[in-house]
Amino acid sequence: LIQIEPQGAVRLLRLNRPEALNAFTAPLLSQLRQALEAAAEDRETRAVVITGAGRAFSAGQDLADPHVAPSRDPGAAPKDIGHMLEHYYIPLALRLRSMPIPVVAAVNGVAAGAGANLALGCDLVVAGESASFIQAFSRIGLIPDCGGTWLLPRLVGRAKALELALLGDKLKAAEAERIGLIARVVPDAELAGTVLAIAQRLAAMPTRALYETRAALDDAMKLDYEPALKREAQLQSQLGFAYDYLEGTAAFLDKRSPEFKDR
Give the nearest distance from C-beta 17 to ligand LHQ in angstroms: 10
Closest distance to ligand LHQ from the beta carbon of 36 (Å): 18
Decide whether 48 or 68 has the Cβ nearer to ligand LHQ: 68
* Positions 95 through 134 that interact with ligand LHQ (CB under 6 A): 110, 112-114, 134
SS (H, E, C) 31-78: HHHHHHHHHHHCCCCCEEEEEECCCEEECCECCCCCCCCCCCCCCCCC
Residue whose C-beta lies closest to ligand LHQ: 113
243-254 and 225-240 helices cross at what angle (nearest 10)?
Answer: 80
Q: Is 84 in the site for ligand LHQ (CB under 6 A)?
A: yes
Question: Is residue 47 near ligand LHQ by the rule CB under 6 A?
Answer: no
If one asks whether residue 145 binds ligand LHQ (CB under 6 A), the answer comes out as yes
Does position 136 interact with ligand LHQ (CB under 6 A)? The reply is yes
CA angle 168–61–152, rounded 5-degree value: 45
Shorter beta-carbon distance to ligand LHQ: residue 116 or 199 = 116
Binding-site member from 36, 47, 60, 210 for ligand LHQ (CB under 6 A): 60
Q: Could you tell me where the DSSP H helices lie in the chain?
A: 26-41, 82-84, 90-97, 114-120, 148-167, 173-178, 191-203, 207-221, 225-240, 243-254
Contact window for ligand LHQ (CB under 6 A) among 55-63, 183-191, 234-242, 250-258: 55-63
- # chain residues binding ligand LHQ, by CB under 6 A: 23
DSSP conformational letter for 138: G
| CB 251, min distance to ligand LHQ, A | 45
Q: Which residues are catalytic?
A: 87, 145
Q: Which residues of 27-58 are buried (b: 16+ CB within 10 A; e: fewer)?
A: ebbbbbbebbeebbeeeebbbbbbbbbbebbb
Which of 68, 127, 202, 209 is in the footprint of ligand LHQ by CB under 6 A? 68
Phi and psi, residue 16, nearest 5°: -130, 70
> Which spans of this chain sit near ligand LHQ (rule: CB under 6 A)?
20-21, 23, 59-64, 68, 81, 84-85, 110, 112-114, 134, 136-137, 140, 142, 145
